Amino acid sequence: MDARLRVGFIGTGRKPERAGPQGYGMAHQHAQAYRSLADICDIVACADISEENARGFAEMWGVPADGVFTSVEAMLAKVPLDVVSVCVWPHLHAPLVIQAACAGVKAIHCEKPMADTWGNCRLMAQECERRGVRLTFNHQRRFGRPFREAHRLLAEGAVGELRRVEFGSGNLYDYGSHNFDLSGYYVGERPARWVMAQIDYHTTNFVFGTHNENSAQAVWRYDNGVFGVAATGVAADLVGCHNHIVGTEGEIEVGAREPGAPVLRHRRHGGTWEAVDCGKEGLHGPGYIERALADVLGAVREDRVSELCARNALNATELIFGSWESVRRRGRVELPLTIGDNPIAAMVASGDLTPAPRG
């Protein structure tokens, strides 16, 4: 494909003022990445319910005046688009992704987590597949050098045969979305067969308008026999690093919490740690979203499947909702997951969980 790709945005948000879920304008992060790919794409349209936000985004990223909208429907009807970035909160992902798919775009790149319910996750993937639309999700961490190098070490047999993937993070849903995706990346994009978990949710914790537990522990097993372990919140110290990869002959750590530890290290069982040079790249960047979107646009132009495809995102996200469903059932959950709702939200609504207001 030689033609330049025409890119539109659903949700621009305010200009980023600070890091974090309340002040981090992901649309602007996407736009910066598209700009780095200016030889193959142009940002030609944007839509936001706030005209001020949309016009501010357009001014910053060179969107023509006739490409600025406060209505997604109007933008999709009036501007022919190849690619759409969806940068709104998770409860809006499914309806807006489906709306864009029905408008005939070639590809949709959506922010993570996938959606607010497991049913919406499956629905948006299903409707894009039915229409031949490439749906991807912004699990950009897997393109970072520490994670790529960990994958390389594993593939080269540096720690023997893979036995277990672990992660420690703030929660299962928001930050955990990246870590479940990375676990799938390390294990060869395999689906899980079962999951069991327990959570503590004593203080209300909303991220992007969605409940997140305060702390959790989860165990699951992939269909190739590899185990997964997650610990979040105060339990994250159980793992002691961002990602822990355990093999028959050694282990790999990404983002060890130990003061002064390198971002990536590995050792044979009983041996000493060896640091791996990752340049100036850490857990969050720089350049990860740029590489993610390069893969997404490359997949469109080369007619291939992106690493960030909906299938891989579903494998990861099933473990989020499956973990919460295990809490609701008080037992192990066999996969594939057949529920349609959000178990943690349902448990709060029913009074089974009673988190106190924050502060």
Domain borders along the chain are 5-140, 142-283+316-350
How many whole angstroms separate alpha carbon 77 and alpha carbon 280?
Answer: 44
The phi, psi pair for 11, rounded to 5°, reads 90, 115
147 in Cβ contact with 241 (< 8 Å):
no
Sort residue 157 into left (φ over 0), alpha (ψ -120 to 50) or beta: left
The one-character DSSP state at 193 is: E
3-class SS of residue 326: helix
Tell me the H-state helices in the chain: 26-36, 51-61, 72-78, 93-102, 118-130, 145-155, 175-186, 288-302, 310-329, 343-350
Each residue of 172-189: pLDDT tens digit? 999 999 999 999 999 999
The pLDDT assigned to 24 comes to: 57
The pLDDT assigned to 359 comes to: 74
How many whole angstroms separate alpha carbon 184 and alpha carbon 196?
Answer: 17
Strand partners, 199: 216
Residues in the chain, pLDDT under 50 = 21-23
Each residue of 87-132: pLDDT tens digit? 999 999 999 999 999 999 999 999 999 999 999 999 999 999 999 9
The pLDDT assigned to 15 comes to: 75
240 in Cβ contact with 226 (< 8 Å):
no
350 in Cβ contact with 336 (< 8 Å):
no
**Among 286, 274, 323, 311, residue whose Cα is nearest residue 190:** 311
Q: Which amino acid is at 243?
A: N
**Among 310, 306, 289, residue whose Cα is nearest residue 297:** 306
The pLDDT assigned to 19 comes to: 53
The class that CATH gives domain 142-283+316-350 is alpha beta
Burial string for 306-324 (b: 16+ CB within 10 Å, else e) reads bbbbbebbbbbbbbbbbbb
Residues in the chain: 359
Q: Provide the sign of the torsion angle of the four alpha carbons 133, 314, 236, 204, taken in this order.
A: positive
The pLDDT assigned to 3 comes to: 85
Burial string for 189-219 (b: 16+ CB within 10 Å, else e) reads ebbbeebbbebbbeeebebbebbbbbbbbbb
39 in Cβ contact with 3 (< 8 Å):
no
Q: Angle 26-36/288-302 helices, nearest 10 degrees?
A: 60
The pLDDT assigned to 358 comes to: 86
The pLDDT assigned to 295 comes to: 98
- CATH H-level superfamily of 5-140: NAD(P)-binding Rossmann-like Domain (3.40.50.720)
Strand partners, 268: 250
Each residue of 323-333: pLDDT tens digit? 999 999 999 99
How many whole angstroms separate alpha carbon 152 and alpha carbon 144?
Answer: 12
How many whole angstroms separate alpha carbon 229 and alpha carbon 215?
Answer: 14
How many whole angstroms separate alpha carbon 299 and alpha carbon 280?
Answer: 28
